Amino acid sequence: MKKEILIGFIIGLIANAIGLYFAALFFGDGNDFFTILKSASTEGILGKLISLGAILNLAAFFIFIKKKQDYRARGVLLATVIIAISTFVFKFI
């Protein structure tokens, strides 16, 4: 059970990282990934990019639900909640 939740958590983090990469490339000005992240941080929109990246977690969550892998879906949900809390903390600190 704990192993399945950990697998879901890791998949949630990876899905968010991939989503962040695509969101940064989509909304970036054609610069490389790290330049986009740096400029997003200085402009104060990094939290929004991270939140957009979490959209892929939705797909992972529903795939696990459809396959009846509830514990992995819980891990993805846990990763999403932790990312949301860290984005909130990052924005206000």
Q: What are the structural domain ranges in the chain?
A: 2-92
Q: At 92, which amino acid appears?
A: F
The 10s digit of each residue's pLDDT in 55-81 is: 999 999 999 999 999 999 999 999 999
**Cβ pair 53, 19 in contact under 8 A:** yes
The 10s digit of each residue's pLDDT in 9-61 is: 999 999 999 999 988 888 877 778 888 888 888 888 888 888 888 899 999 99
Residue 28, H or E segment:
none
What pTM was estimated for this model as a whole? 0.86
Q: Is the Cα torsion angle 53, 81, 12, 56 positive or negative in sign?
A: negative
pLDDT of residue 90 exceeding 80:
no
Structure confidence at residue 57 (pLDDT): 92
